[in-house]
């Protein structure tokens, strides 16, 4: 019974640890990126493709699986049989744990091809964010910080404010036009 509780505890900790992976979506920032300058360039999305990001390989699944498998395998037989069972259980458990970690942390992602305003093209792969919607032709920002690149929707361009002041009267030769508020425009 004690071995079963240990086994379940280790399995639960593996699932919790693999579920705590950082997001790689465009709308997600790490704590290290907060309050730091981030440069960006703007462009237009010219292609979008759905791809898969491989799962993590942090060795947590491997280690937890090996411990769980070793504990389970040690309950087989007695003496040398228990030792052999523990070793075989640890190996099999480690392989199974690593595979479980990779499978549980695998994510869908976007492969976004952006034509920058400069004319150059760039491809960025990022996890699909919950609130991110992209379509070919969208204006986007390509943000770069600390060696990481992400794509996010560009803010729509604000219309130029309409001037309610009347146009200044044309100036005579050698005179600057006068503004409606009395300032001189050069």
pLDDT at residue 67, rounded to an integer? 85
Burial of 167 (0-12, 13-18, 19+ CB in 10 A): exposed
Sign of the CA dihedral with 122 first, then 127, 133, and 135 last: positive
Q: Which residues of the chain are in CATH 2.40.50 domains?
A: 38-54+107-156
Which pLDDT score is estimated for 88?
82
Do strands 148-153 and 107-116 pair parallel, antiparallel, or not at all (unpaired)?
A: unpaired
What is the rounded CA–CA span in Å between residue 49 and residue 151?
A: 14
pLDDT number for residue 33: 59
Residue 158 DSSP class = P
State the pLDDT at residue 85: 79
Alpha-carbon distance of 137 to 133, in angstroms, equals 12
Instruction: Return the residue matching tokens 């950082």.
Output: 22
Query: CB–CB of 109/24 below 8 Å?
Result: yes
Helix (H) or strand (E) holding 97: helix 80-104
pTM of the entire structure?
A: 0.52
Instruction: Look at residue 104 in the predicted model and tell me its pLDDT.
Output: 74
Task: Report which DSSP code applies to 111.
Answer: E
Q: For residues 66 and 99, give the distance between their C-alpha atoms in angstroms, rounded to a whole number.
A: 12
Residues 134-149 as b or e (16 or more Cβ within 10 Å = b): beeebebbbbebeeee
The pLDDT of residue 169? 53
Query: Is 41 buried (19+), middle (13-18) or exposed (0-12) by CB count in 10 A?
Result: middle
Residue 119 is predicted with a pLDDT of 94
Stretches where the chain sits below pLDDT 70 are 1-33, 35, 56, 102-103, 106, 157-160, 162-186
Q: The domain 38-54+107-156: what is its CATH number?
A: 2.40.50
């Amino acid at each position: 019974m004690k071995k079963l509780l240990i086994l379940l505890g280790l399995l639960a900790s593996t699932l919790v640890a693999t579920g705590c992976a950082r997001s790689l979506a465009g709308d997600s920032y790490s704590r290290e990126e907060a309050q730091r300058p981030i440069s960006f360039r703007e462009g237009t999305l010219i292609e979008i493709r759905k791809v898969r990001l491989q799962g993590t390989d942090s060795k947590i699944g491997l280690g937890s699986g090996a411990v769980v498998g070793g504990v389970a395998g040690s309950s087989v037989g007695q003496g040398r049989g228990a030792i052999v069972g523990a070793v075989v259980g640890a190996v099999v458990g480690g392989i199974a744990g690593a595979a479980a970690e990779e499978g549980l942390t695998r994510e869908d992602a976007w492969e976004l091809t952006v034509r920058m305003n400069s004319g150059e093209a760039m491809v960025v792969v990022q996890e699909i964010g919950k609130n991110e919607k992209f379509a070919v032709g969208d204006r986007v920002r390509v943000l770069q910080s600390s060696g990481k690149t992400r794509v996010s929707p560009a803010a729509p361009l604000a219309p130029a404010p309409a001037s309610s002041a009347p146009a200044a009267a044309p100036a005579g030769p050698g005179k600057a036009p006068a503004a409606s508020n009395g300032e001189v425009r050069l």
